[in-house]
Amino acid sequence: MTAPLVEARGLTRTFPMHAGPVHALRDVSLRIDPGEYLAIRGPSGCGKSTLLHILGCVDTPTSGTLIFDGRPVGALPDAARSALRLLSIGFVFQRFFLLPMLTSSENVEVPQAEAGVGRRERRRRTAELLDYVGLAHRGDHRPAQLSGGEAQRVAIARALANRPRLLLADEPTGELDRATGEQIALLLDRVQADGTAVVVVTHDPAIAARAARTLLMRDGRIVP
């Protein structure tokens, strides 16, 4: 049995609110193996995105342990967590969040530059990634000049820039039509097939059906 890429034990996340605490996650444990394709489904407000954020080291659990590639993440300082996200984890958001003042190529180069990759290698890798997502001809276009599907593909290319071991996608097709969503789903299939573990939070049953494993969540818990 291979060592897990991500192991979560007893994760809870509570948000203190004026009206009383909100328990977004309650004692969630799971494991993600290298190269696995995992879908997380559930109704709105069940804690899917919260779980994704914790897995991606964007948020910290109120209690519980998260181990990434054999290393406990909880005690890491912010700089180390940022480095982990930069080099080992890729994020794809529902709203794309491309940098509007940069071209598609520049958006894909940003994480590589931050990781200290040299200019020549950055450009080579960027061209490779844009070709991978089918947008080699749109490298000089800014996000405002792209369609929703194209913008999300650029976002996926950006997320893969530093060859992450884990790709996290939060409702990647949430703002796309069915046909475009299908294209994104195919792309995610390909990413997973090439060895990157993919975790997708989605409402879309068609996307979830492509995953090797689906977790159902309700009221902050994983429903067995």
Partner 1 sequence: MRALAFAARSLVRQPGRTALGILGIAAVGALLFDMLLLSRGLVVSFRDLLDSVGFDVRVMSTDAAPLGGPRVPHASAIAFELAALPAIAEAVPVRLTDAEASTRGTRPIGFSLMGMDARGRRPWTLTAGRDLGRDAADTPPSLLVNRLLADALKASPGDEIAVRVVCAADRAALPPVPFRIIGVAAFPFDAAAERSGVASRASLAIACGGDGGDDADMLLIASREGYGPDAAVAAIRRHRPDLHPATNDEIVARMQATGFTYFRQISAVLSTITLLFGFLLITVLMTVSVNQRLAEIAAIRALGFSRARVAADVLCQSALLVGCGGVLALPLGIALSIWLDAILKAMPGIPSALHFFVFEPRALMLHAALLSVTAVLAAVYPMALVATLPIAATLRNEVVS
Q: Can residue 113 be called a binding residue for partner 1 (CB under 8 A)?
A: yes
Q: Which is nearer to partner 1, 7 or 109 (CB)?
A: 109
87 lies in the binding site for partner 1 (CB under 8 A): yes
Q: Is 102 in the site for partner 1 (CB under 8 A)?
A: yes
Stretch touching partner 1 by CB under 8 A, among 2-10, 30-38, 110-118, 189-197? 110-118
Amino acid at the residue 213? R
Distance (Å, whole) CA 109 – CA 107: 5
**Window 6 to 35, contacts with partner 1 (CB under 8 A):** none
Q: Which of 101, 209, 212, 223 binds partner 1 (CB under 8 A)?
A: 101
Q: Select from 3-11, 100-108, 131-139, 206-214 the region that touches partner 1 (CB under 8 A).
A: 100-108
Q: Please identify which residue in 28, 37, 38, 49 interacts with partner 1, judged by CB under 8 A.
A: 49
| Angstrom distance (rounded) from CA 50 to CA 56 | 10
Is 125 near partner 1 (CB under 8 A)? Answer: no
Q: Which two tokens stand for residue 34?
A: 């290298």
| 132-161 positions binding partner 1, by CB under 8 A | 158-159
Q: How is residue 112 annotated by DSSP? A: H
Residues 6+ apart with CB under 8 A from 13: 23, 24, 25, 47, 50, 54, 59, 61, 62, 220
Among 71, 95, 137, 218, binds partner 1 (CB under 8 A): 95
CA 31 from chain centre, in angstroms, equals: 16
C-alpha span between 24 and 170 (Å, rounded): 16
Instruction: Take residue 53 and report the two structure tokens written for it.
Output: 């954020």
Q: Does residue 110 interact with partner 1 by CB under 8 A? A: yes
Q: Is 75 in the site for partner 1 (CB under 8 A)?
A: no
Nearest CA among 217, 205, 200, 192 for reference residue 34: 192
Q: Strand 213-218: give its sheet, edge to edge.
A: 89-92, 166-170, 197-201, 37-41, 213-218, 221-223
Cβ 132 to partner 1, closest distance in Å?
18
- The least distance separating partner 1 from the CB of residue 79, rounded to whole angstroms, comes to 5
Shortest CA distance to 97 belongs to which of 184, 175, 164, 181? 175
Confirm or reject binding of residue 204 to partner 1 (CB under 8 A).
Answer: no
CA–centroid distance for 86 within its chain: 12
**Site residues (CB under 8 A) for partner 1?**
49-50, 53, 56, 58-59, 78-79, 82-87, 89, 91, 93-95, 97, 99-102, 106, 109-111, 113-115, 158-159, 162, 170-171
